[in-house]
Amino acid sequence: MVSKKIDPNASKNLSEIRDKRGYLLPHHGLLSLTDPDLLSGYDQCYSALTLKKRYLEEKEKEFIWLGILAVTEEYIATQHLNKFLDAGGTSPEIECIIQLATYARGVSSIIFADKNWKKIDNKIDSKNLYFSGIKTLNKNNAVEESLMNLALVAIHTSIKQHTPLSWHIKKLYDFNTKEAHIAEALTYSMFTGSIPNFIEGCSVWRDMIIKKEIIASKEFLDWAMLDQDGPNQD
C-alpha cells in the first residue's frame, strides 16, 4: 500500500472555498486533508454548475433547485431557498414547487393505471390525467408554464421517472423553449439526483431526438447521432 502525506495546505484550501461559498461542509475538510486534487476538481464542477451564470435567470435556476431538493428530500442545500427568495421568489411559488415535487412522486400510480387498468376501462389516458393534475396544482398561475416544465424535467430526472420526463421535454419543444435552457435544467439533477440518473435523463432526450418525437436543432441532432452508447450497451 502506497503511503501518501496529508496535504499541508489544507487550511488554505478550505479558506478559499469558504470565501467563495460563504460556508463549509464536512466533505470539504476531508477532501482538503486527504486529496486536494479531488477537492479542486469537485469545486470547479460545483462552481460551474451552481455559481456560474449560464442561460437561465437566477430566480428560474433556484426554482428548479427547490424542486430537486423537495423531491429528493435533501436538506443540506437549503441555502437555495434563501437564494430563491433573494432573487424575487415568493411563498406561493415555493408552495407550488413543493406540490409539484409531491405530485411527481406519485406519477407512477398514473402509469400503473394506464398499463394495467386500461384493458378494463379504455378511456384511461395517463398523459392527459397527469397534465390535468399539473394544471390543478398551478390553478392560480403562480408559475409560468415553461418554467414549471423545466423544473419537472429536473425533478423527474432526479427520481428516474422517464415517461413523464419525456412528456415534459416534448412540452418544452412545443413551447419553443431554448434547448440550452432544457439542458441547464437537466444538469441540476447531477449532484442531488446523482450522475447516473442525469446520464439516463440525457439518454431519454437523445432517444426522443433519434426517434423524431421532437424536432431538434442541428447542433442537438448532431449530439444525438454521436456514437455514445457507453461500454454496457449492445
Cα–Cα dist 169/16, whole Å: 38
On whether both 25 and 132 belong to a single domain, the answer is no
Higher pLDDT, 131 or 142: 131
User: Where in the sequence is the domain holding 179, given as residue range(s)?
Assistant: 56-225
Domain total for the chain? 2
Cα–Cα dist 6/20, whole Å: 23
The predicted pLDDT at position 2 comes to 44
- What's the average model confidence in pLDDT over 64-79? 92
Higher pLDDT, 2 or 155: 155
Residue 232 located in a structural domain: no
Between 70-84, 159-173, 200-214, the lowest mean confidence (pLDDT) is in: 70-84
Q: Residue 112 pLDDT more than 70?
A: yes
On whether both 96 and 208 belong to a single domain, the answer is yes
- What's the average model confidence in pLDDT over 9-16? 68
Residue after which a domain boundary falls, among 52, 75, 91: 52
Residue 165 located in a structural domain: yes
Cα–Cα dist 180/186, whole Å: 10
On whether both 133 and 151 belong to a single domain, the answer is yes
On whether both 66 and 29 belong to a single domain, the answer is no
Q: Residue 21 pLDDT more than 70?
A: no
Give the position of cell 408559475: 143
Q: Residue 12 pLDDT more than 90?
A: no
Residue 129 located in a structural domain: yes
On whether both 170 and 215 belong to a single domain, the answer is yes
User: How confident is the model over 157-193, as pLDDT tens digits?
Assistant: 999 999 999 999 999 999 999 999 999 999 999 988 7
Cα–Cα dist 25/193, whole Å: 19
On whether both 71 and 101 belong to a single domain, the answer is yes
On whether both 37 and 135 belong to a single domain, the answer is no
Q: From the CB of residue 112, how many other CB atoms can be counted at a distance below 10 Å?
A: 11
Q: Residue 38 pLDDT more than 90?
A: no
Residue after which a domain boundary falls, among 34, 52, 70: 52
Residue 76 located in a structural domain: yes
Q: From the CB of residue 153, how many other CB atoms can be counted at a distance below 10 Å?
A: 31
On whether both 174 and 141 belong to a single domain, the answer is yes
If 0-12 CB within 10 Å is exposed, 13-18 middle and 19+ buried, where does residue 151 land?
buried
Residue 230 located in a structural domain: no
How does the average pLDDT of the chain come out, rounded?
Answer: 87
Higher pLDDT, 133 or 142: 133
Higher pLDDT, 23 or 177: 177
Task: Select, from the ranges 17-21, 214-218, 227-231, the one with the highest average predicted confidence (pLDDT).
Answer: 214-218
Q: Residue 149 pLDDT more than 50?
A: yes
On whether both 122 and 69 belong to a single domain, the answer is yes
On whether both 85 and 146 belong to a single domain, the answer is yes
On whether both 43 and 73 belong to a single domain, the answer is no
CATH of the domain at 61: 1.20.1290.10
Nearest alpha carbon to residue 64 among 157, 137, 132: 157
Residue 231 located in a structural domain: no
Q: From the CB of residue 64, how many other CB atoms can be counted at a distance below 10 Å?
A: 27
The predicted pLDDT at position 222 comes to 93
Residue 119 located in a structural domain: yes
On whether both 19 and 134 belong to a single domain, the answer is no
